[in-house]
Structure 1
Amino acid sequence: MDYQAGVSGVVDIVPETREEEEDVSSSRSRGWVNGLRRRWRQLLMIAVAIILLPYVLILLYMPSFVHPISTLMLRDLVFLRGYDRQWVSFDEISPNLVQSVMMSEDGQFCIHDGIDWVQMRGVVTDALEGESTRGASTIPMQTAKNLFLWNGRSFIRKGMELPLALAADFFWSKRRMMELYLNVAEWGPGIYGAEAAAQHHFGVSAAKLSRRQAALLAVSLPNPIDRNAGKPGRGLRRLASLIERRAGRSGEYIKCLYE
């Protein structure tokens, strides 16, 4: 009887120990899964915050006393390179530069809503047909890229750029948009904004830029590292002459900025 009871006691203990081990293992598994879910939720929240941050900044950048920096300026600070940017208001920038930049970069600036849909459809059509695509970036798109995104050609960046351009054009006036663009645009290594560019390349203030100087700055914008407005080659001078003529006839195109 005592032996059987002892055996019975042993038999009774073994299943209970296995159940406890299984419970511990299951608990650990659930804990790992819950921890992974928490991490994924945290990562998702961080990703959503990063995506929404530029839209919050668009609202914060509306007042004229706010002088934001671009992502390229931020990069230069991170790598301890430094940069030259002297903020100037829209009224302190020569109309010659405003006209030249519009005629070179975005002739429909005053009438589109941030995106030139006609040009964009042409680019999409060319891409679908396998042809080389031409540029269709508007000033709002370039401003959004400069302030919130990165350089380089990618569908991801372009996909983020389009809604940002629409939002920026909705909340910012055309004058504010142009003011921001001309104060963050890159005009050479470490040279940002119209004032620094005018002084670096021509030794004058942004307010004193001549038609020729303004045209040279405008045509250097697509590639300011290789295109030196202060030391233009023959091709750059030829493009500047074309933009200078267009700027001289741009009265109807810039009414949204000077009415």
Structure 2
Amino acid sequence: MATHKINKTKVLGVAVLAAFSALLLYLFGLFVMILWLSVRDPGSSAFMDATLAELRLANPEAELKYQWTSYEGINKSLKRAVIASEDANFTDHEGVEWEAIRKAWEYNKKQAEKGKSKIRGGSTITQQLAKNLFLSRSRSYWRKGQELVLTYMIEFVMNKQRILELYLNVAQWGGNVFGAEAAARHYYGVSAAQLSQYQAAQLAAMLPNPVYYERHRKTSYLLSRTGTIQKRMRLVTIP
């Protein structure tokens, strides 16, 4: 009986060690990819790949609108607008704002109790970049944990300018529209460098629900939100 218990303990120990080793290998792989992205521009992202796969279920010929452009090739107005809209403390925090997450969790809990589906996110730009580049659209504690680990890795490896450059290039701005350059050309017929302050503010306002706002750009909420972002842009410091 004692021998049987020892064997079970050994098996459990080996299993735990194997799982821990696999986790370390997984984290190391992610860290290597982040190091690579700190100096190399991505051709796509996890969100882009998932979106294209969904579109091709209905249309095998579907393609994404996407064109990489450098940080210098993106108008300062869009940089200011996105920070004003998505992450006002972007240049100051270390990747995660726990107070914002707590407030979002409390708000969403109250919404669920009321039977309402509208929820609020507490993610920073760095968290959104981590999610867009590497993760699925699913919502779970495991996926959130992955997002947090990736966020801290990104902040450790990259400076704020590179983080914002990557985010502006992989953010979704429509059903098949990704990145600032494609968005500027799709909605306004100009390059990302030529965006006006209003156009930049409107693009930033669309980010929480880009697929919907691609078809409903004249809603009262979007127009109001665009105006609010425009007022806040002058207060924003960009990296």
- Summarize the Cα distance change of 1:117–1:177 in structure 2 as closer, same or farther, 3 Å threshold: same
Q: How many residues were matched structurally? A: 214
* 1:16 corresponding residue in structure 2: none
CA RMSD of aligned residues (A): 2.7
Deviations 1:150-175 (A, max 9, x none): 12432221111011111101111101
Aligned counterpart for 2:131 among listed residues 145, 151, 154: 145
Alignment counterpart, residue 86 of structure 2, candidates 105, 111, 116: 105
Paired letter, 1:201: Y
Instruction: Kindly indicate whether residue 67 of structure 2 is the aligned counterpart of residue 91 of structure 1.
Output: no
Partner amino acid for 1:192? F
Preserved CA contact (<8 Å) 1:62 1:172: yes
Which sections of structure 2, spanning at least 5 residues, go unmatched? 1-10, 12-16, 112-118
**Does structure 1 retain, via aligned residues, the 8 Å contact 2:52–2:176?**
no
Question: Which of 136, 157, 160 is residue 143 of structure 2 equivalent to?
Answer: 157
Separation (CA, whole Å) in 1 of partners of 2:64 and 2:22 = 30
Question: Alpha-carbon deviation of 1:109?
Answer: 0.3
Q: 1:62 — aligned with what?
A: 38
- The counterpart of 2:219, out of the listed 233, 246, 250, is 233
Alignment-derived partner of residue 73 in structure 1 = 48
Partner residue in 2 for 1:205: 191
Please say if residues 220 and 227 of structure 1, whose CA atoms lie closer than 8 Å, have aligned partners that are also in contact.
Answer: yes
Judged with a 3 Å threshold, the aligned counterparts in structure 2 of structure 1 residues 100 and 190 are, in CA distance, closer, same or farther, namely same
Partner of residue 223, structure 1: 209
Contact 1:140–1:165 (8 Å) recurs in 2: yes
Secondary structure of 2:212's aligned partner: coil
Q: What TM-score does the superposition give when structure 2 sets the normalisation length?
A: 0.79
**Does residue 131 of the first structure (1) align with residue 106 of the second (2)?**
no
Counterpart position of 1:15: none
In structure 1, runs of 5+ residues without a counterpart are 1-33, 35-40
Alignment of 1:36-51 (within 5 A): 49-50=25-26
* Cα drift, residue 106 of structure 1: 0.3
Q: Give the match for residue 29 of structure 2.
A: 53
- 1:174 is aligned to 160
1:202–1:230: 8 Å Cα contact kept in structure 2?
no
% identical equivalent positions? 37
Distance in 1 of aligned mates of 2:235 and 2:89: 14
CA displacement at 1:77 relative to structure 2: 4.8
TM-fit CA distance, 1:144: 0.2
Counterpart residue identity of residue 181, structure 2: E
Bigger relative CO (Cα 8 Å, ≥ 6 apart): 2
Closer, same or farther in 2 for the Cα pair 1:55/1:103, shift >3 Å?
A: same
Distance in 1 separating the partners of 2:215 and 2:163: 23
**Cα distance in structure 1, aligned partners of 2:215 and 2:86:** 16
The alpha-carbon distance between structure 1 residues 119 and 144, as it changes in their structure 2 partners (threshold 3 A), is same
- CA 1:156 to 1:162, structure 2 compared with 1: closer, same or farther past 3 Å? same
Amino acid at match of 1:235: Y
Deviation at 1:134, TM superposition (A): 3.3
Partners in 2 of 1:90 and 1:219 — Cα distance?
20
The answer on whether the counterparts of 2:95 and 2:126 sit within 8 Å (CA) in structure 1 is: yes
Residue 131 of structure 1 aligns to a residue whose secondary structure is: helix
Cα 1:154–1:83 change in 2 (3 A) is same
Structure-1 separation of matches of 2:174 and 2:107? 31
Q: Deviations for 1:116-157, whole angstroms, at most 9, x for unmatched residues?
A: 122123345567xx4346321000000000000012432221
